[in-house]
Chains A and B, each alone.
Chain A
Amino acid sequence: MTAGVLQLDNLSVRLRLPGGRFVSAVTGLSCTVRAGEVLALVGESGCGKSVLASTILGLLPGNAQVRGQVWLDDAAARTELLRAPEHELATRVRGRRIGLIPQSAGTHLTPVRTARSQLAEALAHHGSEGGGAEIASRVDELAQQVGLDPDDLYGYPHELSGGMTQRVVTALALAGNPLVLVADEPTAGLDRALVDHTVDLFRFVAGTGRAVLFITHDLAAAGRVADHLAVMYAGRLLELGPAREVLADPWHDYTRGLLAALPSGGLQPLPGHPPSLTELASGCAFHRRVPGECSGDPTLTWHGGRAVACR
């Protein structure tokens, strides 16, 4: 087993609201993303999974507080990201060792500059040697890698389709040749063919020895590409294990419910709604929504290579 490149260790994130209340976005989350593997983090929208990407990259808003540790491990160094100074994150981590594919790709591109100019800029700042011609050829190469026609890059962001902007931000995330790729809902708003193309790209990226953290609400897409699957509900992990095993034999009621809601599972939606993350009561949030035998906070317990809560 290869070593973990990105380790989240008992990570909690909360956002302070006016009036002293808190949103508990992530609670006691631990997992490991390994080189050459795709870890898919799956959950309904509003379960706190998107905060995770911002946490890893140090891009949380000013009212956020964190607890626990996030370790970035590679041949060069072992860095604890939550306590790393901003300067180190800006000059050595973001874009270089961790690439981010942000949610809502369209708004993450500067509107008054062409996609090509932004891609060339990212390449130039991430150590691509040589002059303009060389960078231009690297741009074309990267574009082709993510499935873009290099000519499309001459468009301004508002001239590109949703699928095209998605691939542009993917190319931007790969420009610095990062060890870890964090993709935050990269398939939202794409049609099935583009979703498949995008996740296949993650497979390819992982195949080059990099680690991919694929955050999504789309269990089908996750199942297509993930080596490991983590299921998240109300800020906590409920199940974690090799994707094939978890999908074939889900242990947790919630995972079972998510599978049943898929077209292949009979389109039976889960009853009720995910809870609000403000003022979460202690105890198992899921089993307050769906009755079941459970007591106390959901904590993962390990059984062989898999872990599950509420058992």
Chain B
Amino acid sequence: MGDAAARTKRTSPGRAGGPHETSAPADAAQRTGETAADEHGWIDAGRPWTRARRSRLRLSARQRLAVGIGVVIALVAYAVAVPIVAGFDERAVDLSASGMPPSWAQPFGTDMAGRDLFVRAAAGLRISLLIAGTCAILSTVLGVLVGVLAGGLGRWVDRIVMRLVDTVNAIPHLLLGIVIVALYRGNVIAIVASITLTHWAPVARLIRSEVLSLRQREFVDAAISGGAGRIWVIRRHFVPAIVPQAVVAAALLLPHAVWHESALSFLGLGLPPHRASLGTLLDEARESLLLGSWWTLVFPSLMLVAATLAIAACGAAWRDHVLPRRRSEELP
């Protein structure tokens, strides 16, 4: 037994004085089967299973929000300014300039009717964003109304509403949208209605659960039993809890609405051709692609993808920033 005691007095061996910092992962050492120790003899004990690998390129929610907002602002500026400056007319056809590849004068090339795609994509993006924005706001309003009603009144109202939510979720949204648009052909309201009516359900479910959890909380009970008026309780407790949720919900619905509208237009069920959205441009690209005009596909797609990704990134970053409770993750 005595030798154990003797050994405690010895300084610990290990390759003392190695050049490795404490924080340097023992990656290289692990691979060669050797172990690096720092100047005090400490060895990183993490094994391949458990070793912490930290990404150096990780943006915080605030940074992601800034990047997303920057891209969105740039896209909106492009969509608003370019058609005005270019004096764009959708109906102007110039067959002599038909199907020109990208050039300095026309960076996105021209379509089969000779229209400048740089300008046309801007106009298309503007229409897409307008419709999608309207739809996102309307479906959020509808969802909040239904959710507050269901959560606030409870009982049979709640049961019917939840069944309705289940039903809307059971029909694939694009299919329901197609049915609506098909039956009310060719007007903007039909498109807005088709997107609104398919997107309110998750918002309603979210707001309902928020209202239910608020109702169960003690301070609301206390306020009511303390003689506070209904309006006061709603203003003081419900509005501050629900408004941020609703705003985040609207932001998160926006890319879905853009996507949905362009899908409908792509299938030929959207707006008339002289009011082209990005989806319409892509529908036209189906044919011109066969003639080799790749740019008719690439640039409108880039605009569509950039817009949806940037808006989605904003929404997600903002949700993380504003609502750390993350209940809104249930949203699509």
Stretch at the interface among B38-46, B131-139, B144-152, B187-195: B38-46
Q: What residue in chain A is nearest B54 (Cβ atoms)?
A: A62
Indicate which residue in A10, A65, A89 contacts B12 across the interface (CB closer than 8 Å). Answer: A10
In the complex, the answer to whether B8 meets A67 with C-beta atoms within 8 Å is no
Q: Is A67's CB under 8 angstroms from B52's CB?
A: no
Report yes or no: A67 in contact with B40, Cβ–Cβ below 8 A.
yes
Please give, as numbers and ranges, the residues of chain A lying within 8 Å of B42 by CB-CB distance.
14, 65-67
Which of A55, A64, A86 interacts with B30 by CB under 8 Å? A86
In chain B, positions 12-59 with a C-beta closer than 8 Å to chain A are: 12-14, 22, 30, 33-35, 37, 40-52
CB of A85 within 8 A of CB of B30, answer yes
A65 touching B22, Cβ below 8 Å: yes
* Residues in A172-189 with C-beta less than 8 Å from chain B: none
Pairwise interchain contact A67-B41, C-beta atoms closer than 8 A = yes
CA distance in complex: A68, B34 (Å): 15
How many residues does chain B have at the interface if contact means C-beta atoms less than 8 Å apart?
Answer: 29
Which among A1, A28, A67 has the highest number of chain B CB atoms within 10 Å? A67
- Chain A positions within 8 Å of B47 at CB level: 58-60, 86, 89
Scan A59-99; emit 1 where CB is below 8 A from any B CB, else 0: 11111111111000000000000110111010000000000
For B46, list chain A residues within 8 Å (CB).
Answer: 60-64
Q: Does B1 contact A (CB under 8 A)?
A: yes
- Smallest CB separation, B256 vs chain A (Å): 35
Say whether B7 contacts A301, CB under 8 Å.
Answer: no
Nearest A residue to B5 by beta-carbon distance? A302
Q: Is A32 an interface residue (CB 8 A)?
A: yes
A61 contacts across to B, CB distance below 8 A: 46, 50
- Indicate whether B87 reaches chain A with its CB closer than 8 angstroms: no
Q: In whole Å, how far is B45's beta carbon from the nearest beta carbon of chain A?
A: 4
Shortest Cβ distance from B52 into A: residue = A62
| Bound-complex Cα distance A87 to B33 (A) | 9
A240, chain B: closest CB distance, angstroms = 8
A30 at the interface (CB under 8 A from B): yes
Is B8 in contact with A65, judged by CB distance below 8 angstroms?
Answer: no
B2, CB-defined interface residue at 8 Å: yes
Contact A30 B51 (CB under 8 A): no
Residue B4 at the chain A interface, CB threshold 8 Å: yes
Cα A32 to Cα B30 in complex, Å, equals 28
CB-contact partner of A60 in B8, B35, B45, under 8 A: B45
A140 interface residue per 8 A CB criterion: no
Q: Given the complex of chains A and B, what is the CA–CA distance between A301 and B46 in angstroms?
A: 33
Write out the residue numbers on chain A whose beta carbons fall within 8 Å of the beta carbon of B51.
Answer: 62
Identify which of A28, A55, A63, A68 contacts B52 (C-beta below 8 A). A63
B45 touching A7 by the CB < 8 A rule? no
- B275 vs chain A, min Cβ distance (A): 54
Q: Is B155 close to A, CB under 8 A?
A: no
Q: Distance in Å from the Cβ of A243 to the closest Cβ of chain B?
A: 14
In the bound complex, residues from chain B placing their C-beta under 8 Å from that of A52 are none
B163 within 8 A of A: no
B5 near A66: Cβ-Cβ < 8 Å: no
Residues of B within 8 A of A67 (CB): 12, 14, 37, 40-43
Q: When the two chains form their complex, are residues B35 and A83 in contact, meaning their CB atoms are under 8 A apart?
A: yes
* The 10 residue pairs across chains A and B that have the minimum distance between CB atoms: A62-B46, A62-B52, A64-B45, A60-B45, A85-B33, A65-B42, A83-B35, A62-B50, A302-B5, A67-B41
Binding site for A on B (CB under 8 A): 1-2, 4-5, 7-8, 10, 12-14, 22, 30, 33-35, 37, 40-52
Chain A contacts to B: CB under 8 angstroms: 1, 7, 9-10, 13-14, 28, 30-32, 55, 58-69, 82-83, 85-87, 89, 299-302, 305, 307
Would you mind naming 12 contact pairs between A and B with Cβ atoms under 8 Å apart? A7-B4, A9-B8, A30-B5, A61-B46, A62-B52, A66-B43, A67-B14, A69-B13, A86-B30, A300-B8, A307-B1, A307-B5
Q: Can you name 8 extra interface pairs (CB under 8 A) apart from A62-B50, A65-B42?
A: A7-B4, A9-B7, A13-B45, A61-B46, A62-B52, A67-B42, A82-B43, A87-B33
